[in-house]
């Protein structure tokens, strides 16, 4: 039954039309957050042509589902429906309004009208379908789809390979035609929907987007990486840029400071309070009180006010992140750090916004002080063993440093090491802190977090590459 007191405001339109500006103004006036309904802004590694909200804009109003996925992570309209409805439950518990901003109409329709229940595609089926596209081309996919579902084949855009493969996957997974599962029935939502849509003449829209500038930046990155040589392998200094570079500390060290691991003695940092565990240049803070930050809230999921917790100060371990249950086991004070995805999970100690504090060196000083090494400008995904802190992370955009200057671009670099050892080897910390947003998965589900750091240098690190 529709609740007339709860209103979802949807702001939609093409890229560059002004959706973000209007959404921020509405959200500020109504005292609510913004949920993005843009299928490209979900991915943190697509900086060009998506018109994602800037860091300054995100500081004005908290945004959800922006820059939270890697390019290798699967997402769908069905998952968006589930995630957005969960976020709306939280929004409507605190406000009569919520704002959705985005131009992906399949996402908007999934949230406002509902989407047909379709089977989850298994990895084997997905590999088979995309393998057919790769080996037989789009014509092979068309012929197979015509055989399995002639009704959908008659209406689908035969030049849209994504829709063709999607339909083929469902036919193969469900064992019935995709068209038989497309009911088109609209779901009843327990809130009012008000839509605003921007519509500009094409010429004016192109002028707003500044197509030439966008194209130049995209071309610069493409040409730069096209000529990149394989990264050399070895042990040498690595300069990690600010922002999402903080994911290494978050994954390789931060989880080991959560009481979930410490109470079970499953962390390399267990029993080490008051000890020097890092370079004196390292101060690390977890702060759930930063206004409008991705991991902030007034209270944790046990009703304790969130706090600014200094984890490491000048290299000395000062605190863990402690929830009530593990606090009793450890005899430690709670820190407002108990979090969970939703009611399906029991809350436990988790990070909020975890950052390495700024130092005194400028970025230019760090680069010029490095005779030879790797500059990791953008980090990618990786894996971590929380018990030991061992990790490996891909470098999406990297450059060699030679004679104190950024030199040629390199590809295929991987950073390999152990978090506790890397903490000791940090010998320069920049004065340019920056945060980046992501989703953190653990035993209490997937939750929003900020990671962050200034530019820093690790004096010696194993770099996977070639040669």
Q: Where are the beta strands (DSSP E) in 65-197?
A: 97-101, 192-197
**Percentages of the chain per state (helix, strand, coil), in multiples of 5:** 35, 30, 40
Q: How far apart are CA 271 and CA 16, in angstroms?
A: 53
**Closest Cα to residue 333, out of 342, 345, 324?**
324
Task: Please choose, from the candidates 134, 93, 136, the residue with its C-alpha nearest in 3D space to the C-alpha of residue 5.
Answer: 93
Length of the chain: 467
Whether 323 and 338 have beta carbons less than 8 Å apart is answered as: yes
Which residues partner with 348 through β-bridges? 339
H or E element at residue 57: helix 55-60
What does the alpha-carbon distance between residue 442 and residue 169 come to, in Å, rounded to a whole number? 29
CATH 1.10.20.140 domain extents, the chain: 123-181
Burial annotation 205-225 (CB, 10 A radius, 16+ → b, else e)? beeebeeeebeeeeeeeeeee
Q: List all residues 6 or more positions away from 17 whose beta carbon is below 8 Å from its beta carbon.
A: 103, 198, 199, 200, 205, 208
With CA atoms as reference, report the closest residue to 141 among 241, 152, 376. Answer: 152
- What pLDDT, on a 0 to 100 scale, did the predictor assign at position 16? 66
pLDDT at position 199, please? 67
CA 95 to chain centre: 26
Among all chains, which residue has been given the structure tokens 């993005």?
36
**Bridge partners, residue 390, by sequence:** 385, 418
How far apart are the C-alpha atoms of 459 and 238, rounded to whole Å?
7
Contact 37, 107 (CB under 8 A): yes
Would you say 7 and 38 are in contact if contact means Cβ atoms under 8 Å apart?
Answer: no
For residues 37 and 67, what is the distance between their CA atoms, to the nearest angstrom? 12
CA distance 301 to 323: 9
Task: Tally helices (H) and strands (E) across the chain.
Answer: 14, 21
Q: What is the pLDDT of residue 216?
A: 63
Instruction: Indicate the DSSP class of residue 240.
Output: E
pLDDT tens for the chain, 467 residues: list them.
445 578 999 988 877 667 888 888 888 888 899 999 988 888 876 655 566 787 777 777 889 998 888 766 778 888 899 999 999 999 898 888 999 998 888 889 889 988 887 888 888 998 899 889 888 888 999 999 999 999 999 988 888 888 899 899 999 999 999 989 887 777 888 898 888 877 656 565 556 555 566 556 555 665 666 678 889 999 999 999 998 888 888 888 999 999 999 999 989 899 999 999 999 999 999 999 998 888 999 999 999 999 999 999 999 999 999 999 999 999 999 999 999 988 888 999 999 999 999 999 999 999 999 999 999 998 876 677 767 778 888 887 899 999 999 999 998 889 999 988 999 999 999 999 999 888 787 888 888 899 999 999 999 999 988 76
Give Cα 402 distance to the centre of its chain: 32
Which residue reads 């014509």 in tokens? 139
pLDDT of residue 438: 80
Fold of 7-115+185-215: Rossmann fold (3.40.50)
Return the CATH class of domain 123-181: mainly alpha
Kindly provide the residue ranges of all beta strands, DSSP E only, lying in 5-138, ordered along the sequence.
7-12, 34-36, 63-64, 97-101
Strands (E), 53-187: 63-64, 97-101
Ranges in the chain annotated CATH 3.40.50.300: 7-115+185-215
- State whether residue 411 is helix, strand or coil: strand
Instruction: Give the tokens for residue 387.
Output: 């018990």
- Write down the pTM of the prediction: 0.57
CA-based nearest residue to 461, from 428, 414, 403, 429 = 414
Using only the alpha carbons of the chain, give its radius of gyration. 24
Structure tokens at 58: 């995100």
Among residues 225, 173, 219, 182, the alpha carbon closest in space to that of 48 is found at 219
Which residue, among 378, 374, 390, 384, has the nearest Cα to 465 in the 3D structure?
374
pLDDT for position 350: 95
């Amino acid at each position: 039954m529709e609740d007339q007191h709860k209103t979802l405001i949807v702001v939609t339109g093409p890229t560059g039309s002004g959706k973000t500006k209007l959404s921020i103004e509405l959200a500020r006036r109504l005292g609510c957050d913004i949920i993005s309904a843009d299928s490209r802004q979900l991915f943190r590694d697509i900086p060009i042509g998506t018109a994602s909200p800037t860091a300054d804009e995100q500081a004005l109003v908290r945004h959800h589902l922006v820059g939270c996925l890697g390019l290798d992570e699967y997402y769908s309209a069905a998952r968006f429906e589930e995630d957005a409805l969960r976020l709306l439950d939280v929004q409507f518990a605190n406000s009569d309004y919520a704002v959705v901003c985005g131009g992906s109409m399949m996402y908007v329709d999934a949230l406002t009208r509902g989407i047909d229940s379709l089977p989850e595609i298994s990895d084997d089926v997905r590999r088979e379908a995309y393998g057919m596209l790769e080996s037989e081309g789009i014509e092979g996919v068309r012929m197979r789809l015509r055989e399995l579902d002639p009704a959908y084949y008659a209406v689908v855009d035969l030049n849209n390979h994504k829709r063709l493969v999607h339909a083929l996957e469902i036919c193969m997974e469900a064992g019935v035609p995709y068209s038989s599962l497309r009911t088109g029935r609209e779901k009843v939502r327990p809130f009012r929907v008000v839509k605003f849509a921007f519509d500009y003449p094409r010429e004016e829209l192109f002028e707003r987007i500044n197509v030439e500038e966008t194209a130049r930046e995209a071309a610069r990155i493409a040409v730069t990486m096209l000529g990149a040589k394989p990264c050399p392998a070895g042990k040498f200094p690595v300069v990690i840029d600010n922002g999402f570079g903080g994911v290494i500390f978050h994954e390789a060290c931060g989880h080991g400071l959560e009481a979930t691991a410490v109470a079970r003695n499953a962390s390399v940092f267990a029993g080490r309070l008051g000890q020097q565990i890092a370079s004196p240049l390292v101060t690390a803070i977890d702060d759930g009180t930063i206004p409008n930050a991705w991991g902030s809230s007034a209270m944790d999921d046990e009703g304790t006010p969130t706090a600014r917790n200094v984890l490491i100060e000048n290299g000395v371990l000062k605190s863990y992140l402690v929830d009530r249950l593990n606090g009793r086991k450890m005899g430690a004070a709670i820190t407002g750090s108990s979090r969970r995805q939703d009611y399906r999970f029991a809350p436990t100690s988790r990070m909020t916004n975890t950052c390495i504090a700024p130092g005194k060196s400028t970025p230019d000083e760090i680069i010029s002080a490095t005779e030879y090494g790797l500059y990791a400008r953008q980090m990618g995904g990786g894996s971590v063993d929380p018990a030991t802190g061992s990790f490996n992370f891909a470098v999406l955009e990297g450059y060699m440093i030679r004679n104190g200057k950024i030199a040629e671009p390199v590809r295929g670099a991987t950073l390999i090491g152990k978090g506790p050892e890397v903490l000791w080897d940090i010998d320069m910390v920049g004065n340019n802190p920056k945060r980046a947003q992501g989703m953190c998965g653990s035993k209490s589900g997937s939750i929003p977090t900020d990671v962050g750091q200034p530019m820093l240098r690790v004096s010696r690190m194993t770099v996977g590459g070639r040669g």
